[in-house]
Amino acid sequence: MKNKPILRFGLPKGSLQDATIEKMAKAGYNIQVSSRSYVPYVDDAELEIRLIRAQEISRYVEHGYLDCGITGYDWIQENGSKVHEVGEFLFSKATRQPARWVLAVPENSPIKSVRDLEGKRIATEVVNLTKKYLRKNKVKAEVEFSWGATEVKAHELVDAIVEITETGSSLRANKLRIVDTLLYSTPRLIANTKSWQDNWKRQKIETMALLLKGALDAEAKVGLKMNIAQKDLDALLHSLPALRNPTISSLSQKGWVAVETIIDEHVVRELIPQLKAAGAEGIIEYPLNKVVY
């Protein structure tokens, strides 16, 4: 009897773990992590999940211990891993921004640009990215690996830090000033180059990418439905390009139609007052699980 094929899939352990498992469930893959076992349960017999720190996933995908995995672009670059990038995702619904690695110094530091780092000491978790950045800018400085709490060090232990931030508020709270951005980073689905050439594996990975993208897109979108008098419809559609390609259906009430569309959740707050002004009634917004174009 031939063995059932298996896809070994690495997910980021730690701070991104809960978010990733939630996104996977939205994509249709239910994962249960047990404190008793290091292999999580997943309701797909063709998958084997491994939880590995985001920093290390690209390395194990490159070596083939994992067929594919989700990790940040930053760590793929830091490790210099040779892997196939299948897709890019945006996890944070709240900020809708990628994370970025920035060069930061105390608010009152004389350092104003990367040039001023010559001969200085920099603490960071991404030593390779930082060295590359310095080389590119032809600056010679000492880069030391920081095991965490990097922000605090900028005030007395080193001259500058390279640290990750999303909204910048943690840096501001630590009275640090951003000097430059080294790298924007988003979560990526990556595959081992050999696994990617295997037909079965590639199709399995592509399906997962499709569903995951569908689930993530759905987080940022909503369904919008409203009634409007037939006579106002053209004006409405003309003036509001955000309502692209809506479904129009006639209502039992003469002269009225129902308009339904899928739009970005964050424009709803500007759109609804305009819809009301254009004569729309009975506007409802409903949540989506997946959106696949």
Question: Is 265 near a copy of itself (CB under 8 A)?
Answer: yes
Question: Is 288 near a copy of itself (CB under 8 A)?
Answer: yes
Considering only residues 114 to 143 of the shown chain, the ones binding a copy of itself according to CB under 8 A are: none
Question: Is 174 near a copy of itself (CB under 8 A)?
Answer: yes
Question: Is 282 near a copy of itself (CB under 8 A)?
Answer: yes
Near a copy of itself by CB under 8 A, which window of 87-95, 101-109, 111-119, 129-137? 87-95
Question: Is 255 near a copy of itself (CB under 8 A)?
Answer: no
Question: Is 278 near a copy of itself (CB under 8 A)?
Answer: no
Nearest residue to 81 (alpha-carbon basis) of 55, 100, 103: 55
Nearer of residues 137 and 155 to a copy of itself, judged by Cβ: 155
Please work out the total of residues on this chain that contact a copy of itself, with binding judged by CB under 8 A: 80
Backbone angles phi, psi at 145, to 5 degrees: -70, 130
Tokens of 94: 């709240």
Near a copy of itself by CB under 8 A, which window of 107-115, 185-193, 194-202, 276-284? 276-284
Residues 6+ apart with CB under 8 A from 43: 29, 30
**What whole-number distance in Å separates Cα of residue 65 and Cα of residue 60?**
5
Question: Is 35 near a copy of itself (CB under 8 A)?
Answer: yes
Rule CB under 8 A: choose which of 173, 199, 254, 255 binds a copy of itself: 173
Considering only residues 206 to 225 of the shown chain, the ones binding a copy of itself according to CB under 8 A are: 207, 210-211, 214, 218, 222-223
One-letter amino acid identity for 45? A
Question: Is 101 near a copy of itself (CB under 8 A)?
Answer: no
Using DSSP, state whether 293 is helix, strand or coil.
coil
**Shortest Å, Cβ 14 to a copy of itself:** 8
Residues 6+ apart with CB under 8 A from 215: 23, 26, 27, 28, 289, 290
Question: Is 109 near a copy of itself (CB under 8 A)?
Answer: no
Q: Which long-range contacts does 211-214 make (Cβ < 8 Å, 24+ apart)?
A: 211/27, 211/28, 211/29, 211/290, 211/292, 212/23, 212/24, 212/27, 212/87, 212/89, 213/87, 213/89, 213/292, 214/27, 214/290, 214/291, 214/292
**Shortest Å, Cβ 222 to a copy of itself:** 6
Tokens of 248: 């129009």
| Residue 189: strand pairing partners | 70, 87
**Shortest Å, Cβ 120 to a copy of itself:** 13
**Shortest Å, Cβ 1 to a copy of itself:** 22
Question: Is 230 near a copy of itself (CB under 8 A)?
Answer: no
